[in-house]
């Protein structure tokens, strides 16, 4: 059966994500204008700088609210060595090309990436894996900004493109 466009571009985003050298999280993203692929990016250290596989992850610990309306705070570890995939995508594409385009990304963008994407000229964000921590504020931002923000349902990533231990 022929792949629909959503599946086609999300599959490419997952293939791109396998380039990431951060063992904690592999994120891939592609920029699409009409049906044309304008750019690809994944999370990684700046060029010429040691990446997570060479220098190890750069871990910070942060407290964030526990899910499901609890007031409890839980400690989370996050790797900050990499530039997020969405930010790399913006660094390597042109503003004029982005006007009205669609971003496919393997993971729901974090608050900072969503905020930047909202100001980047794109019209739509399609993601697959949820990121509940930032969902509410990102969804509110997208609605306010009038951007389409949707999770791809009934989708299965290509074989061997997901990290086993994504934390």
The verdict on whether residue 26 carries a ligand-binding annotation is no
Binding mask 57-96 for Zn ion (x = CB under 5 A): x---------------------x-x--x------------
99 is catalytic: no
User: Which entry of 86, 124, 143, 162 is annotated as an active-site residue?
Assistant: 86
Q: Is 57 annotated as a binding residue?
A: no
3-state secondary structure of 115: helix
Range in contact with Zn ion (rule: CB under 5 A) among 19-27, 89-97, 124-132, 146-154: 19-27
Q: Which tokens is 124 given?
A: 């739509």
- The crossing angle, in degrees rounded to 10, of helices 132-145 and 111-118 is 10
Report in angstroms how near the CB of residue 52 gets to Zn ion at its nearest. Answer: 3
- Note whether 101 and 122 are within 8 A (CB): yes
Answer yes or no whether residue 141 interacts with Zn ion by CB under 5 A.
no
- Total interface residues for Zn ion by CB under 5 A: 8
- The 3-class secondary structure across 6-50, one letter per residue, is HHHHHHHHHHHHCCCCCCCCCCEEEEEECCEEEEEEECECCCCCC
Taking the least distance from each CB to Zn ion, the nearer of 10 and 52 is 52
**Least CB distance from residue 4 to Zn ion, whole Å?**
27
One symbol per residue from 97 to 116: x for binding Zn ion (CB under 5 A), - otherwise; what is it? Answer: -------------x--x---
Catalytic positions, written as ranges: 86
Residue ranges at the known binding site for Zn(2+): 84, 110, 113
Residues that bind Zn ion in the complex, under the rule CB under 5 A: 22, 52, 57, 79, 81, 84, 110, 113
């Amino acid at each position: 059966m022929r792949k629909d466009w959503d599946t086609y571009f999300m599959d490419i985003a997952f293939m791109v994500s396998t380039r990431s050298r951060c063992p904690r999280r592999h994120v891939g993203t592609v920029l699409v204008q009409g049906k044309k692929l304008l750019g690809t990016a994944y999370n990684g250290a700046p060029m010429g700088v040691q990446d997570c596989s060479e220098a190890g992850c750069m871990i910070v610990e942060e407290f964030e609210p526990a899910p499901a309306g609890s007031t409890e705070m839980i400690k989370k570890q996050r790797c900050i060595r990499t530039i997020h995939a969405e930010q790399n995508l913006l660094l390597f594409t042109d503003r004029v090309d982005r006007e009205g385009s669609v971003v496919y990304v393997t993971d729901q963008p974090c608050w900072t990436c969503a905020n930047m994407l909202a100001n980047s000229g794109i019209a739509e964000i399609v993601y697959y894996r949820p990121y509940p921590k930032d969902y509410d504020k990102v969804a509110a931002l997208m609605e306010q900004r009038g951007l389409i923000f949707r999770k791809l349902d009934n989708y299965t990533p290509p074989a061997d493109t997901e990290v086993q231990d994504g934390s």
